[in-house]
């Protein structure tokens, strides 16, 4: 009997092979290959607003509340509290980044924001953006309770590696990263003298 011959008799259930799934099948929730871009119209609106009033200054606020030991709750806008702690080696409970680590996170995020915004402004599509940051710090002063001989306090050096996959030549991406560094508010806070006052309320 020909293998292509049809029959009305039902085939046994075991005779029906399971439908093979392609090896490359992705779940419905799989991410697309490109980084979700910010709203271009919104960006253009911010650009126009800044050009209309280039000397405008915005005051940012944070309320820091000591919760106990070295754990602190930071209240910003109406967001959930941003927790800052210390690692066990610095007598903390290791429940969150410490202040210096949080400053690195702020720098990395600010640089990434600038890279992303400028990529959108330049019609560059980003597929992947990841920054690796590290910094050197001397902590022997123990917040002023330990060795207070002359030495740099705070970060002595910060290094950032930007992993950027985008649809532009490397030279353009290098220029994009350099431009983002120049105009990053947090990067500038790291590198320029800033007036700081700390007084009893």
| CA distance linking residue 81 with residue 65, whole number of Å | 10
Closest CA to 187 of 113, 79, 96, 90: 113
| pLDDT above 80 (res 42) | yes
pLDDT of 153 higher than 60: yes
Q: Label residue 172 exposed, middle or buried (CB < 10 Å: 0-12, 13-18, 19+).
A: middle
Q: Report, as an integer, the average pLDDT of 24-42.
A: 65
Average pLDDT of the residues in 131-140: 98
Place of tokens 């126009």: 48
Residue 10 reports pLDDT greater than 80: no
Q: Alpha-carbon torsion 100, 101, 102, 106, what sign?
A: positive
Mean pLDDT of 104-118: 98
* pLDDT at 41 exceeding the cut of 60: yes
């Amino acid at each position: 009997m020909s293998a292509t011959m049809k029959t009305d008799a039902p085939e046994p259930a075991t005779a029906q092979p399971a439908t093979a799934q392609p090896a490359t099948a992705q779940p419905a929730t799989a991410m697309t290959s490109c980084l979700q871009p910010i709203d271009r119209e919104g960006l253009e609106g911010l650009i126009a607003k800044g050009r209309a009033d280039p000397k405008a200054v915005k005051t940012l606020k944070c309320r820091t509340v000591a919760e106990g030991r070295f754990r602190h709750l930071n209240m910003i806008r109406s967001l959930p509290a941003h927790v800052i702690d210390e690692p066990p080696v610095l007598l903390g409970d290791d429940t969150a980044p410490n202040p210096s680590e949080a400053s690195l996170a702020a720098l990395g995020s600010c640089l990434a924001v600038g890279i992303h915004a400028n990529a959108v402004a330049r019609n560059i599509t980003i597929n992947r953006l990841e920054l690796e940051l590290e910094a050197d710090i001397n902590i022997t002063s123990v917040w002023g309770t330990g060795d207070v001989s002359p030495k740099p306090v705070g970060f002595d050096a910060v290094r950032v590696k930007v992993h950027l996959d985008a649809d532009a030549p490397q030279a353009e991406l290098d220029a994009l990263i350099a431009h983002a560094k120049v105009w990053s508010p947090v990067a500038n806070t790291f590198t320029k003298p800033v007036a700081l006052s700390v007084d009893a309320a």
